[in-house]
């Protein structure tokens, strides 16, 4: 097991693959691009909400944007009217915004890409994003998505982690994605980033399809925990954890009101519990304990 206090590998044993993204020397800064897009890749808005949460937590500053007129069909992705703090009506256009932040007490700089999946010119759009990535000296790309799946709301939300970059996949002990079929802008950006030579990881949270509406704080929290592990940066998610608990209690209440839904949820729970039995091992416990130690060390004066 990896430890924050040092290597605990027994003499003569094979070292365990590093499951963290950033094996760098002390003092060396690393820049990671985190990207999520509203729309087809964003069930329950869990992916985009997770990056908004993190961007706000770390005080990200806007450094660039991509011209909306080039890439969006406004009859499909319509602008919205909002009122500002002064009560004035303003039109908010679909866009892609790029922010930069530094993770506190770490050597990690983060570039947040937040926007709506474009309607047109996906090749040109992703190429423009990579121009910004090069200018901002991005070392890694982490793509964040969420999909609807047959999973129970009452169990931990699964987050799959994959990479098509062979060296990174071996180091993080990951699998290559086996998905075949239609892709969204996240899939296109993954391929283009790899072609540009930037190691790329994809995270996908599985959102229960029977509670697909936004927000989905439990899936959002699961994605943030995985980002926390990849970046080795402790996150303050107490407020979101409370929202997640309240969301789960609310879904419990709704399920009990419909016998068919309640029976379906029990069926999903049984299937999930059976599938997870081999994973109820020291590895999952060790990962949670390491996260606890990291946070405790961060909170000490």
- How confident is the prediction for the chain on average, in pLDDT? 85
What average pLDDT does the segment 288-299 reach? 59
- Give the pLDDT confidence of 221-245 residue by residue, as tens digits: 999 999 999 999 999 999 999 999 9
Beta bridge partners of 32: 110, 140
- Can you give the pLDDT at residue 14? 38
- Give the pLDDT confidence of 43-102 residue by residue, as tens digits: 999 999 999 999 999 999 999 999 889 999 988 888 889 888 888 999 988 889 999 999
The answer to whether the bond into 88 is cis (omega within 30° of 0) is no
| Cβ–Cβ < 8 Å for 125, 118 | yes
Which two three-digit tokens encode residue 194?
A: 């790899």
Helical ranges in the chain per DSSP H:
46-57, 122-135, 166-172, 185-195, 217-231, 238-256, 259-276, 282-299
């Amino acid at each position: 097991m990896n430890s924050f206090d040092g290597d605990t590998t027994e003499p003569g044993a094979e070292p365990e693959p590093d499951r963290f993204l950033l094996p760098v020397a002390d003092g060396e800064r690393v820049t990671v691009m985190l990207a999520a897009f509203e729309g087809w890749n964003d069930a329950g808005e869990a992916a985009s909400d997770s990056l908004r949460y993190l961007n706000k937590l770390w005080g990200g500053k806007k450094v660039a944007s991509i011209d909306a007129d080039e890439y969006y069909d406004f009859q499909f992705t319509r602008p919205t009217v909002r009122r500002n703090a002064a009560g004035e009506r303003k039109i908010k256009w679909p866009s892609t915004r790029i922010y930069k932040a530094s993770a506190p007490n770490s050597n990690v700089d983060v570039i947040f890409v937040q926007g709506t999946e474009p309607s047109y010119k996906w090749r040109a759009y992703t190429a423009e994003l990579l121009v910004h990535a090069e200018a901002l000296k991005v070392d890694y790309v982490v793509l964040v998505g969420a999909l609807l799946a047959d999973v129970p709301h009452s169990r931990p939300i699964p987050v799959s982690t994959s990479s098509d970059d062979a060296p990174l996949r071996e180091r993080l002990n990951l699998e290559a994605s086996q998905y075949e079929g239609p892709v969204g802008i996240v899939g296109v950006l993954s391929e283009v980033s790899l072609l540009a030579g930037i190691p790329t990881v994809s995270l996908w949270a599985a959102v229960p399809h029977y509670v697909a509406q936004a927000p989905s704080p439990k899936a959002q929290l699961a994605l943030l925990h995985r980002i926390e592990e990849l970046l080795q940066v402790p996150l303050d998610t107490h407020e979101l954890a409370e929202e997640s608990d309240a969301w789960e209690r609310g879904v419990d209440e709704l399920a009990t009101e419909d016998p068919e839904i309640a029976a379906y949820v029990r069926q999903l729970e049984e299937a999930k519990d059976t599938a997870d039995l081999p994973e109820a091992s020291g590895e999952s416990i060790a990962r949670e304990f390491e996260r606890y130690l990291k946070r405790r060390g961060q909170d000490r004066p």
